[in-house]
Amino acid sequence: MDDLVQKAREVQGEFTVDEEFSAGAVGAALRTGAGNIYTGVCIEMACGIGFCAEHSAIAEMLKNRETHIEAVVAVSAQSIVPPCGRCRELMMQLNKANRFTEVAVAEGKVVRLYELLPHWWFEQI
């Protein structure tokens, strides 16, 4: 996971997009089942049209026709940031094997994605 933390820190760094909007406050890195690493940054815009750093990294992964995430981490300037509910749901829906994705939720703490979504709604259908 240390290599992913380093890659996420390399892309993290907030910058101004416009007077009131920014990007890069959170950086993310993920490793796929094939061993490839993809990174992304968050985009902070009005009206909820921005997106999380994990979404950005996932978009890069999907461009390369991969869906299996082995491990993921997001970082701010201060700490590791656990994924929000929207990011957790996206990872879970992409590939059933992602339930076993290693997710960094704090410094030195990694859990499996299924632990963050213990009663996943789609399994009930």
Active-site residues, by number, are 54
Contact present, 14 and 1 (Cβ < 8 Å): no
Q: What is the DSSP string of 16-32?
A: ESSSS-EEEEEEEEEEE
Cα 106 to its chain centre, rounded Å, is 13
